Structure 1
Amino acid sequence: MSAYDERPWLPRYGDQPADYDIEFDDALDMFRAGVAADPSAVALRYFDGVLTRQELDELSDGLAAGLLANGFAPGDRLAVYLQNVPQFVISMVAAWKAGGVMVSINPMSRTRELSYLLKDSGATVLVSLESLYGEIAQDVVPDTDVRLVLTTSELEFQTRDDERLFAGLERRRHEGTTDFVEFVNRHRGTVPPRSTWVPTTSRS
């Protein structure tokens, strides 16, 4: 018998229970329960912008529905090449709803790293900042399995336009890409069917 079986740390828990019942099967179930419990609660704050749980639910529904309508299948990978912006969370929840897996790529990654991660993961969709796409991703994507590129900006979901961060930043639509917010809004109001896909192998 090992220390893990004896659990000698339990006396230090005080009044806290030693074991917990798992309330949710996965993070998406937990997210949906949060929306149902208090849809008006703040889910995300971004500068002066606020998204409630319900708004996050609707936006991620729209993205998931759009992905599925464009050939995204359960088990597919959605790569996210973003800074800390609301689009990151929207994409993550949407990937779950579509039965897929989000591949988070460090925005500091350059050509070699981005190429490796896209190829190794087999991502079929890329969500990227416009700036990162123009600087790096547009030269990488053609040699990968990515079929759909959604680009977006740090300027979305806020109106403050803080000069300390956004001075000189301009929106730019790149050829062969689709605007993230326009794509989501095109499918907003559509609720994707619940996915039953369960991963059976480990991949990046």
Structure 2
Amino acid sequence: MNHKGTSASIIKAAEILFAEQGFAETTVRQITSKADVNLAAINYHFGSKKGLIQAVAEKFLTPLCTELTSMLEQRQSSTDAGQVTLDELLEILMRTLLVVNRDNVNALAVFMRLLELSYMQNQEELREFLVARYQDTLQPFILLLREDAAPMEDDEFFWRLHFLLGSITFTLSNFQTLHTIEKREYQRGAEVEKILHRMIPVLSAGLQARADKTYFCRV
């Protein structure tokens, strides 16, 4: 197997295991065994397991950001289009997730686990990598969210944005469990597309709610 083929095999094996088990739970030995390569291959090709995680992140986030940018530019270039609304922006985000997941069945699972991992205390290196690599690409989308959100201070918007990310991450990370519960309790199980569609009005309302300075939950 050539250099490029070995790297691709390792990334493919890693994405499957990361999607199934998570990043911390997946060992280097499991990855190299599934990829059928030497145990030292990860260090040789990626420098470390952290380097491999970054390579997997690029494989999923680069097409996601490209698709998001493309959909956003298409909407903005419409001749009869006014300001892009929150609902439209969130729909674009959800459609982007679906397109990327259609092209790779592991995409949503890996993406959600990446978000979870990047906010762990010992993952400063991964956070810095993601910010350096994708902040400029995502900034126009975030600024448009800010423009159509309720008037609020920057720190308030920071938290609203993370409430949004947290809702998406929790829902998609636990989709199979929630799907099973829904099926047992209500004799029906929604597809991912329907769940993402259901989230739009909830997330939109969260960003449009006024920032209240009265802390009703203070004791």
Query: If the TM-score is normalised by the length of the shorter chain, which range does it land in?
Result: under 0.3
Structure having the higher helix fraction is 2
TM-score (norm 1): 0.26
Structure having the higher strand fraction is 1
TM-score (norm 2): 0.25
